Amino acid sequence: MTSSVPRLVIAAPSSGSGKTTVATGLMAAFAARGLAVSPHKVGPDYIDPGYHALASGRVGRNLDAYLCGPELIGPLFLHGAGGCDIAVVEGVMGLYDGAAGEGELASTAHVAKVLRAPVVLVVDASSQSRSVAALVHGFASWDPQVRVGGVILNKVASDRHEELLREALDSAGVPVLGVLRRVVQVDTPSRHLGLVPVAERRAEAVEAVAAMAAQVSDGCDLEALLGLARSAGALECAAWGAAEALASSPAPPLPVPSPGVAAPGPPLRPEGPRPQTPPEGGPPDGLDCADLGSGVRVAIAGGPAFTFSYAEHAELLTAAGAEVVPFDPLRDEQLPEGTRGLVIGGGFPEVYAAELSANEPLRKAVAALAESGSPVAAECAGLLYLCRELDGRPMCGVLDAGARMSERLTLGYRDAVAVSDSPLAVAGTRMRGHEFHRTVVEPGSGAAPAWGVRSPVRRVEGFVQQGVHASYLHTHWAAEPGVARRFVERCRTS
């Protein structure tokens, strides 16, 4: 199948150059013109897509070649961009920065090549004039397969400064498609893990996005950018779909193995296959995905404290037959009625520890659900919420572990293997994940660990007990659709 959705990749020489301002502003500016805009973010980041969604009116989606594999980048992109007039893809870090030790893998340049998309380079010009030509020339010529189709100059000080920059870039052969001046109101507040999520500052976020749109509309040649987007090459792949992904993924063995049973042998198994491949078994003849989860209600934590979630997770759960119901642990005192499974993703429980702790009825409800053996999948913030305490404040007490803030940032991709059979994976299943936190959980793993991390340091981490799978690792279920199917099947049988 061939598809030619107009698209741009917004990149930069380094972090802090203004990619988010430009990408978000472009999304909002194009949307204001009546275009259907598909927003995307390279890498695992959860926060920028929230601003993208606010700007475009559509769900922000990630394109991560490390977590999902390069082969899924095109299909996932087309899944999000279906029916849209243009797609804007915000890059990550510097244009050529990817997974550590993996060459170009998961870099903005890598994703741009897979998508056959032109790149717009956002350059912080605040402390240079003629040198900007050497910088742009270097980035444009480093990889001949990366097409830098234009430059947007950011933080330009004056008309004279702009004149000097344009004069220098005339010799670089890369057109200037926009010039942005410093505007204080475009700045968005940050804290220990980056920008403050949209869900925590809705009114201010709306104002910030409007300011970005105004700045980009005033300073950029939108017609030229739209024309560049239309020059993107055709993609020779079909759009990803949750139902199709489940249909083509191996089914979980039935019945689901007893929870909390550690796999035999050493804690770090040899590298297993991708995708998940149970040794034997499968659903009985005539049993499809919908049959596996019919009538099963899965609650997903949301609200300001739990904002980290990939849209494909809920889509896969729904395709597996679950009824997905969001709830807010800061406000709701009970889980949604009839909850049979619980997903608690990432976020900032450390910021809301007092409020989460004060909601004792919900903490008790979560503990009771876990004690019943129902499946609970918790990542990072979810792990902290299930602990006995967080910074001295009582949490759900599902795990006999304490959590606290730390000055040390833990950040990076992880290659992991499931150590214990759980509602998410068969022991031996290989998955890739991402860690991003400034907290510590002690102990770091239980009697039945969740994962054996293979890189950068070999270790076990996380907890599997009864129906609980709790870990610091953020994973992308599109890479392993069988995870959602297995989780829903466990909901049905627990």
Q: pLDDT tens, 284-333?
A: 333 344 444 457 999 999 999 999 999 999 999 999 999 999 999 999 99
Closest by alpha carbon to 231, among 12, 9, 1, 23?
9
pLDDT given for residue 215 in this prediction = 96
CA–CA gap between residue 451 and residue 473 (Å, rounded): 9
Closest by alpha carbon to 165, among 109, 201, 194, 123?
123
Q: What are phi and psi of 54, to 5 degrees?
A: -65, -40
**Dihedral angle, C-alpha 264, 269, 270, 275, nearest 10 °:** 100
What is the torsional sign of CA 339, 344, 347, 349? positive
Q: Which is catalytic among the residues 68, 380, 387, 491?
A: 380
Q: What pairs with residue 42 in β-bridges?
A: 63
CA–CA gap between residue 237 and residue 221 (Å, rounded): 31
Within the chain, which residues score under 70 in pLDDT? 1, 184-202, 251-294
pLDDT given for residue 277 in this prediction = 34
pLDDT given for residue 196 in this prediction = 64
pLDDT given for residue 383 in this prediction = 98
Q: What are phi and psi of 431, to 5 degrees?
A: -140, 155
pLDDT given for residue 251 in this prediction = 59
b/e code 459-494 from CB counts within 10 Å (16+ = b):
bbbbbbbbbbbbbbbbbbbbbbbbbbbbbbbbbbeb
pLDDT given for residue 454 in this prediction = 86
pLDDT given for residue 249 in this prediction = 85
Is pTM beyond 0.75 here?
Answer: yes
pLDDT given for residue 456 in this prediction = 80
Does the annotation count 84 as an active-site position?
Answer: no
